[in-house]
């Protein structure tokens, strides 16, 4: 380097800094070290130079030198002082057209912010008539602006009406509360994307708006109402998607594949990040298991939608139950496919071994999942399911429950056969065979 035939000049500089009470950071990248047997290159230096440096440091500065890995340095810095706190608590509102106690992603955001001292409020739905309109949960103030007792939507219009009603109520609530005391941040969660409109007036006043994309709306719409086939509503939904992105200061997307698609469609590449919905290790713990009977319980917790492939799960379970005595399939959730799935279970004559349960809060479903012998994620590989990341996989893993997963593009992106078992998407026999192997 700089036509120097040896590291002597650098060693002298190192000594000069150390003798005057200074600190030197020597960062050596192995790509530039010419190891034994490698041809000389203008981009590398002999291993002997590095050996000479180490020997000099040992002999001259042995008592004050530290050979540390990056993780060692990070741990040391972290121990020097507590994390810097915000100059003042922030006032933050999360907006979600979901039942707060069942939405793990929203709960973790809200509880983490409240734990650091922020004033956190959530606008959400009421899941039961007995739930109060407002309540404080783990330091988070939850306002239930509308009701959702089950998932009765059976058509696009039936899905749109309650979404518009909730968006209107959220906008009115935000405007009223912001007049009383401004918000620092409004964190909007889709579905639907146009909930971002509720925060638009506040953004004009200086409030930051964060849009969190749980699902891609056009693909979700096609999977929910058109069996995965694109329809005429795709173009308007993409217009809404792009317009909603323009209303946000930053956008969070729930997986890396969707980030590529979303950023390209909305032009938000420079202000678009990924935040995976990992399992909460405080909630999903292996020690929750309490069941000790002889049954074999196979479990699916989630929305009972077409793209979830639960009709395939029923077909596979009928084949499996003929071989495994005491096998049961438990489905926790609600959705448009529930009546059809109940009818299919009766048609297959396995209704006694297939049990349908209403959805339950996150902390309760963790205990249910811990008592299962096998988890299944039988998604179809359609335009939505092929790239929709399922948090259930990581939750089953955190609980120590084996899981069988459709080999969709997104799940192949994040996992391999060393941590779970894949089956061919859309193939009930492949699912039955893989469940048998996992059990």
Q: Indicate if the pLDDT at residue 233 is higher than 70.
A: no
Burial (CB count within 10 angstroms: exposed 0-12, middle 13-18, buried 19+), residue 119: middle
- Residue 278 has a pLDDT of 87
Specify the pLDDT at position 84. Answer: 59
Residue 312 is predicted with a pLDDT of 98
- The answer on pLDDT for 3 being more than 80 is no
Average pLDDT, the chain: 91
Question: What number is the average pLDDT over the span 239-252?
Answer: 96
Report the distance separating Cα 197 and Cα 67, nearest Å: 53
Q: Which CATH class is domain 286-438?
A: alpha beta
Which tokens belong to 222? 């096609």
Average pLDDT over residues 379-404: 95
d(CA 239, CA 352): 47
| pLDDT over 70 (residue 431) | yes
Answer whether residue 85 shows pLDDT above 80.
no
User: Which of 193-202, 219-228, 340-349, 358-367 is predicted with the least confidence, judged by mean pLDDT?
Assistant: 219-228
Going along 290-415, which residue ranges are E strands? 296-301, 327-332, 354-357, 374-377, 403-406
Q: Residue 410: pLDDT above 90?
A: yes
Residues 6+ apart with CB under 8 A from 2: none
- Mean of the pLDDT values across residues 61-69? 85
What pLDDT, in 10s, does the model give residues 313-353? 999 999 999 999 999 999 999 988 999 999 999 999 986 89
- pLDDT, tens digit, 9 for 90 and up, residues 140-171: 999 999 998 776 666 777 788 999 999 999 99
pLDDT at 152: 64
Per-residue pLDDT, averaged over 27-36, amounts to 81
CATH number of 91-274: 3.40.50.2000
- pLDDT > 90 fraction of the chain, expressed in percent and rounded: 67
Instruction: State how far Cα 68 lies from the chain centre.
Output: 33
Structure confidence at residue 6 (pLDDT): 81
- 91-274 and 286-438, same CATH topology: yes
Instruction: Please state the domain extents for the chain.
Output: 8-80, 91-274, 286-438
The closest of 298, 368, 308 to 335, measured between CA atoms, is 308
């Amino acid at each position: 380097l700089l036509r120097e035939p040896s590291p002597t000049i650098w060693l002298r500089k190192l000594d000069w800094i150390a003798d005057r009470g200074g600190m030197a950071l020597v960062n050596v990248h192995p790509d530039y070290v010419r190891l034994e047997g490698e041809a000389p290159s203008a981009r590398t230096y002999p291993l002997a130079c590095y050996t000479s440096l180490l020997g000099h440091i040992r002999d001259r500065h042995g008592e004050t030198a530290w050979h540390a890995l990056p993780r060692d340095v990070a741990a040391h810095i972290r121990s020097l002082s507590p994390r810097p706190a915000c100059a003042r608590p922030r006032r933050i509102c999360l907006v979600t057209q979901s039942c707060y106690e069942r939405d793990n992603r929203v709960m973790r955001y809200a509880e983490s912010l409240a734990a650091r001292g922020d004033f956190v409020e959530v606008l959400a739905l009421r899941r039961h008539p007995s739930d109060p309109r407002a309540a404080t949960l783990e330091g988070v103030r939850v306002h239930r602006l509308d009701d959702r007792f089950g998932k009765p939507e059976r058509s696009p219009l039936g899905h749109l009406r309650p979404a518009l009603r909730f968006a209107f109520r959220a906008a009115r609530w935000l405007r009223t509360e912001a007049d009383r005391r401004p918000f620092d941040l409004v964190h909007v969660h889709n579905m639907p994307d146009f909930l971002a409109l509720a925060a638009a007036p506040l953004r004009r006043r200086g409030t930051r708006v964060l849009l969190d994309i749980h699902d891609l709306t056009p693909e979700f719409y096609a999977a929910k109402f058109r069996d995965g086939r694109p329809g005429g509503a795709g173009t308007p939904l993409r217009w809404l998607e792009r317009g909603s992105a323009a209303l946000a200061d930053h956008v969070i997307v729930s997986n890396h594949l969707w980030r590529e698609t979303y950023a390209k469609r909305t032009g938000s590449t420079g202000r678009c990040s990924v935040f995976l919905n990992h399992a909460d290790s405080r909630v999903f713990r292996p020690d929750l298991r309490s069941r000790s009977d002889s049954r074999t319980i196979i479990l699916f917790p989630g929305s009972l939608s077409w793209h979830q492939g639960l009709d395939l799960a029923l077909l596979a379970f009928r084949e499996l139950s003929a071989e495994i005595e005491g096998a049961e399939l438990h489905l926790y959730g609600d959705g448009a496919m529930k009546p059809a799935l109940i009818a299919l279970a009766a048609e297959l004559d396995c209704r006694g071994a297939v049990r349908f349960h209403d959805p339950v809060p996150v902390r309760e479903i963790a205990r249910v999942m811990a008592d299962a012998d096998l988890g299944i994620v039988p998604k179809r590989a359609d335009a939505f399911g092929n790239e929709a990341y399922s948090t259930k996989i990581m939750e089953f893993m955190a609980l120590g429950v084996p899981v069988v997963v459709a080999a969709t593009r997104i799940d192949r992106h994040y996992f391999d056969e060393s941590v779970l078992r894949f089956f061919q998407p859309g193939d009930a026999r492949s699912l039955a065979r893989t469940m048998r192997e996992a059990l």
